[in-house]
Structure 1
Amino acid sequence: MRMVFRWFGEGNDTVSLGQIKQIPGVEGIVWALHDIPAGEAWPMERIREVHNQAAKFNLHLDVVESVNVHEDIKLGLSTRDQYIQNYITTMERLAQVGVKVICYNFMPVFDWTRTELHKKMNDGSTALFFEKSRIDGIDPFTFVEQINQNSTLTMPGWEPERLSHLTSLFEAYKDVSSEDLWGHLAYFLKAVVPAAERLGIQMAIHPDDPPWPIFGLPRIMTSQENLRRLLALVDSPSNGITLCSGSLGANPDNDIIAMIHEFHDRIPFAHIRNVRVYDNGDFIETSHRTQDGTVDITGIVKAYHDHSFSGYARPDHGRHLWGEECRPGYGLYDRALGIMYLWGLWDALERIQPMDRKEGIV
């Protein structure tokens, strides 16, 4: 397991590279050029700028999250071919600085969705929270206004320039079914996966978060069955999964451990985090500790260890602790604590059964 840490860039993150470097076992950053609109090719000089910043701390850039997919590709419009070519151009430039994994998603309009960014927990910390009844009873335009009032930092997947076209986006998706979206994803992958193979890059799709339709928009990366279908669209090691235990874990019917056992050789990147799911469908993001949530983090780490997982992993959304002012879900303290919890599990498993002496799955 190769530990990495998401970083939003100089001037766009409350966490510094110097702080990241001090977290034991972290070898690289998970990054992106968040100010480049979806569909535009990333400038090589900007890519090299981030490379040089990370190199000063001996941190690699192996994982990018995300090179966002333009809505015209998801909608299957005639303009998608140019945006796909721009995507491939970006991939070619990323390969020049050693990028090996590109995490992306195929969620229409919205990225991850929460109803509250600082829900107070019993211990005094705050966390991202999803209240199902609130989503069911609010129109998306009001919801976007409320979310954008909560933070001065850019929220990944909630960029203002994209959401300013919300009315036209909803109109465009009005007649797009789940099967249509599957077809548009297949078209995209059949174009970019050969380029990924040539460049030594693995494409790794992120599950929908949460894993069910939002505001009537189709969502298709929601279950083990759907991930299986995704991998079959283009059967290549360069067509893979970012397995996010928190996103998929919001639906208790998802067996994440079974997914790891089935897809382990197609998971180049893992997001490991916990959520507590309530009977009414609400969920809140907790510490990474297994006992604090509904997701079996201990079992998940063991499943990766069983398969000698050598891909990249990062702690995902953390709580906001000790008065830290940060991008919601992306502070320093709880993610650093999460890393040490994950390393503790991994190191204990290594003591019990070192990977180089294992004889198959335990």
Structure 2
Amino acid sequence: MYLMKQTMRWFGPGDPVSLRDIRQAGCSGVVTALHQIPVGEVWTVEAIEERKAIVAAEGMIWTVVESLPVSEAIKTRSEDCALHISHYKTSLENLSRCGIEVVTYNFMPILDWLRTDPFHVRPDGTRTLRFEWTDFVIVDWLLLQRPGAAEEYSVADKEQAQEKFGRMSEDQKKRLFDNMLLGLPGSKEAFTPEGILTALQSYENIDEKQLKENLAHFLRAVIPTAEACGIQMAIHPDDPPYSVLGLPRIVSTEQDLADILSFAPSPANGLCFCTGSLGVRADNDVLGMLTRFSAHIHFVHLRNTARDSEGNFEEGEHLYADTDMVAVVDGLLDIMQRRQVSLPMRPDHGFQMMDDLWKDTYPGYTCIGRMKGLAELRGLELGLAYRKQH
């Protein structure tokens, strides 16, 4: 019976979670990337093989890249776009030569995932990633003071933001601002207000329609290369799956995913199916999307989010939040048997808990919380598989 390939994300030699930790958690492979190579430059065979050797020395394999970043020049289709696409295609060819099978990427403008509190304390003392809508309005409108932000929020949103802002100390304001502009996983470098505002100017004339056209341009250029060399491309959904800072987001809904697959029809053009990102939107039918896009799923992120009617959400228990994880895993088992493949999966994000509460690790990527999620998902999958066989 086909079961999921259990992996965990590793951010390279500087990751406080070691490869040995990941192997001891029960993983046979890791998902990683060459974060040391500047975005837009070529990943060389030598650099890829060096990383593969490090992973192999700990008894594991590396077949899934997350991520091979798409540069801002490609997303905005500006100067250096053609050069960066050429470099991207060369990197795909080099990854293929080294045995990589899946390349994950995203098309989120400027910022990757956003949270207003990466260290939110839950009632049991564990910490999780949380997004508070009012806090986000405070950052965007009152702290960053993005031009045009005031017109994008309702009167109620602004009243709530002003009321809370008036109660905040200067330290609380700084912490909130720093939290939201925290460096992406794999980097300790945070964005600056000036850097964000300058970067936003490059999207002044780019709306959802134009950004989709830019993504289509990218896919039509790289998918033939990926198909020729046996690489499966897997786009990650937006996180959160709606516009932030006035930026268009185009990988958020079922229609978005259908559009992306239509831009370059090919077995190589597929999805990283992230139940957490897609599950933040109440109007996303996650189980239905799993079924309808089953032939195009190349990589799976299993995490669960808990949302409310006010636009807030946080990472919840892997098995107990808004997404029916039992039904998701049951559906994935059916998909794998039908396609006769074992899909790579990783337990995305996890609580900071137990001994990890005193360690300096990337928010959402502590060892123990992800190991807990992996163990629960592994047990769920094996239980469901046993039931199907008997």
Calculate the TM-score normalised by the size of structure 1. Answer: 0.91
Q: Report the equivalent of 2:21.
A: 19
Q: What residue in structure 2 maps to residue 102 of structure 1? A: 103
For the 8 Å contact 2:11–2:186, the answer to whether it is kept is no
Q: Secondary structure at the match of 2:118?
A: strand
Gaps of 5+ in 2: 145-172
Q: Pick the aligned partner of 2:306 from 276, 290, 305.
A: 276
Distance 1:75 1:140 in 2: 24
Q: Distance in 2 between matches of 1:169 and 1:141?
A: 19
- Which residue of structure 2 lines up, in the alignment, with residue 311 of structure 1? 343
1:96 is displaced (CA, Å) by 2.1
Q: Does 1:212 align with 2:212?
A: no
- The secondary structure found in structure 2 opposite 1:139 is helix
Equivalent pair of 2:185/2:362 in contact (CA under 8 Å): no
Q: Is the contact made by 2:35 and 2:186 (CA closer than 8 Å) also made in structure 1?
A: no
Distance 1:196 1:140, change over 3 A: farther
Q: Does 1:155 align with 2:188?
A: no
Equivalence map 1:225-304=2 (5 Å): 225-290=255-320, 293-304=321-332
| More helix per residue | 2
- Say yes or no: does 1:321 pair with 2:353: yes
> Cα gap change, 1:242/1:335 in structure 2, threshold over 3 Å: closer, same or farther?
same
Shift of 1:78: 4.1
CA distance in 2, matches of 1:61, 1:148: 36
After superposition, the C-alpha distances for 1:73-128 in whole angstroms (9 at most, x for unaligned) are: 11111420100011111112211221110100000011001001100001110000
Deviation at 1:158? 7.0
1:267 alignment partner AA: I
Which whole-Å CA distance do the structure 2 matches of 1:123 and 1:222 have between them? 32
The alpha carbon displacement at 1:137 in A equals 2.8
1:346 maps to which of 355, 359, 381? 381
* Contact in 2 for aligned 1:287/1:334 (Cα 8 Å): no
Alpha-carbon RMSD across the aligned residues, in angstroms, is 2.2
Partner residue, 1:360 = none
Matched AA of 1:259? M
Instruction: Tell me the residue number matched to 2:220.
Output: 190
How far the C-alpha of 1:142 sits from its partner, in A, is 4.8
Look up the equivalent residue of 2:65 and give its one-letter code. Answer: V
> Once the two structures are superposed, what CA deviation does each residue of 1:7-43 show, in whole Å capped at 9, x if it has no partner?
00112x111111111122x221100011222111123
Aligned residue identity for 1:272:
L
Alpha-carbon displacement from aligned partner over 1:37-71 (angstroms, at most 9, x marks no partner): 21111233322221111111221111000111110
1:64 maps to 65
Aligned match of 2:157: none
The 2-side partners of 1:158 and 1:93 are apart by 24
Using the TM superposition, give the Cα deviation of residue 156 of structure 1 relative to its aligned residue in structure 2, in angstroms: 3.0
Equivalent residue of 2:103, what SS? strand
Tell me: CA distance 1:234–1:78, structure 2 relative to 1, closer, same or farther (3 Å). Answer: same
Give the alignment's TM-score, normalised by structure 2: 0.85
Instruction: Give yes or no for contact 1:110–1:157 (8 Å, CA) kept in 2.
Output: no
Which residue of the partner structure matches residue 91 of structure 1? Answer: 92
Code of the aligned partner of 1:320: Q
Distance apart, 1:150 and its partner CA: 5.6
1:17-166 correspondence to structure 2 within 5 Å: 17-24=19-26, 26-139=27-140, 142=143, 146=175, 149=178, 155-156=184-185, 160=189, 165-166=195-196
1:128 partner SS: strand
State the structure with more CA Rg.
2
For residue 293 of structure 2, give the secondary structure of its aligned residue in structure 1: helix
The answer (yes or no) to whether the contact 1:243–1:270 under 8 Å persists in 2 is: yes
> What corresponds to 1:10 in structure 2?
13
Change in CA separation of 1:114 and 1:158 when aligned onto 2, cut-off 3 Å? farther
Q: Deviations over 1:294-338 (max 9, x none)?
A: 111111111111212621110001010014122100011111111
Structure 2: distance between partners of 1:288 and 1:192: 34
Give the counterpart letter for 2:376 in structure 1: Y
